[in-house]
A = this chain, B = another copy of it.
Amino acid sequence: MTSKPAQTGKRAVPERTKRGTPATGKVTLNDVALLAGVDRSVVSRVINDDPRLSIRPDTRKRVLETIEKLGYRGNAAARSLRTARSHMIGLLIPDFANPVYAEIIKGAEAEAGNLGYGLMTASSEGVRQSVGHYVELFGQGRVDGLLLAGEESGREMEQLRALRVPWLQVNRRMGGTDRYVVLDDEHGSGLAVEHLVALGHRRIAHIAGPETADTARRRRMGYTEAMSRAGLTADPWLIIHADYTPAGGRAAMDELLAAPQRPTAVYVSNVASAVGVLHALHIAHVAVPDDMSVIAMHDMVLADHLVPALTTVRMPLGELGARAVRLMATCGPADPIAQVVTDPVEIVVRASTAPPCTDD
């Protein structure tokens, strides 16, 4: 007679999961239930704080103690399979080397931890190199949601959409979507211009980001509007578009220095570009801030140690990352999300800005 497989916990196991190897320490719900003398469904409900569970205090205590004693850790895969949620959030950034994203990641990571989520950060660059692209990484239910801080091409957005994973744009709003969270770039830009105006500058240039970038557009608008408010004209030759990189900033500054009428101050839309701007001025023997004031969007530790120390606009980048995670974790996949993080924006005055030379 073929005996039915013996009861709970004694069922046949595939070779690779051999029991009796306590070294591996694979403790399951069943092990806990067996030792605590209850059903595994009870253990599960204790762990998940099921409000519909009524249980005697001492039974609960016994279960909890057994979990502790065996060092039980729930299996993420089993739980994901059952609940169809991974408790992971993906974050796609353009480049790990850009310190702006480091701030966003930090905020996102901390908030994810608080909400019991894991954060899986990848760079567009890295993903592009890999074989399966987004599919391997973010498809297959690996993440519950995807935060997009990168510059995805149309084809890439297509691929992402095919994954059918809820997504949210961070720090940009492309393609007329209603799923984004951004900073108040216009306001920040306005403050930068106002700082320079207050110092007495009138010919203020703007090294803007790439023309295609949404952030660049918003910062440029903030700049032109603040110029108008101050009764100054933002002549087209005062605005140069450049990549958000040191090399981009350097080239833009060179161009600005070659202009017929030199500005006395420049507002750079990105701190990475500003590094290149300072370098270009150094090479051209233009003294900062005596002959040229420089202020840049985004404050970083680095700014304090550049030569000279860089005046910046501090934006709540960490809060942006945190907010994005929170929204992703709490909103439905199709809820419209259109948020602007405004809170602490301030000018951090350092050595790179001063009144213009009087003999100008």
Q: Does A232 contact B (CB under 8 A)?
A: no
Interface: A53 (CB within 8 A): no
Does A301 lie at the interface of the complex (its beta carbon under 8 Å from any beta carbon of B)?
yes
A99 vs B126: C-alpha distance when bound (angstroms):
16
A345 contacts the other chain (Cβ, under 8 Å)?
no
Q: In the complex, are the beta carbons of B103 and A132 less than 8 A apart?
A: no
Report the interface size class on chain A.
35 or more
A101 to B118, CA, bound (A): 20
Smallest CB gap from A273: residue in B: B305
A113 CB contacts on chain B under 8 angstroms: 126-127, 129-132, 136-137
A301 touches B97 (CB 8 A): yes
Contact among B75, B131, B247 for A140, CB-based, below 8 A:
B75
Determine if A1 is an interface residue (Cβ-Cβ < 8 Å). Answer: no
Residues A136 and B110 in contact, CB atoms below 8 Å apart: no
Residues of B close to A73: CB separation below 8 A: 135, 139-140, 163
A257 proximal to B (CB < 8 A): no
Chain B residue contacts of A213, Cβ below 8 A: none
Q: Mark A70-86, 1 if CB is under 8 A from B, else 0.
A: 01011111111100101
Q: How far is the CA of A164 from the CA of B114 in the complex (A)?
A: 23
Assembly stoichiometry (copies): 2
**Choice from B99, B114, B122, B307 contacting A109 with Cβ under 8 Å:** B122
> Which single residue of chain B is at the shortest CB-CB distance from A24?
B164
Q: Contact mask A290-323 → B, CB, 8 Å, 1/0?
A: 0000000000111011111100000000000000
**Is A81's CB under 8 angstroms from B78's CB?**
yes
Of A147-155, A199-207, A276-284, the one touching chain B? A276-284
- Does any Cβ of B come within 8 Å of A46's Cβ? no
Q: Which residues of the partner chain B approach A140 to less than 8 Å between Cβ atoms? A: 73-76, 79
A56 to B224, CA, bound (A): 68
User: Shortest beta-carbon distance, A247 to chain B, in Å?
Assistant: 8
Is A136 a contact partner of B120 (Cβ separation < 8 A)? no
Chain B residues with Cβ under 8 A from A309's Cβ? Answer: 279
Within 8 A of B (CB), among A56-99: 71, 73-81, 84, 86, 88, 95-97, 99
In the bound complex, how far is the Cα of B300 from the Cα of A112, in angstroms? 30
The answer to whether B307 and A142 have CB atoms under 8 Å apart is: no
Q: A97 — nearest CB in chain B belongs to which residue?
A: B102
Nearest residue (CB) in B for A109 is B126
- Interface residue A162 (Cβ < 8 Å from any Cβ of B): yes
21 A-B residue pairs with CB within 8 Å: A25-B164, A71-B162, A73-B135, A75-B140, A75-B141, A77-B86, A79-B140, A88-B142, A95-B102, A96-B105, A102-B102, A109-B123, A110-B126, A113-B127, A114-B130, A118-B120, A118-B142, A120-B121, A245-B301, A275-B302, A279-B309
Going nearest first, the 8 A-B pairs with the smallest beta carbon separation are A113-B130, A109-B126, A77-B80, A246-B305, A96-B102, A76-B140, A77-B81, A307-B307
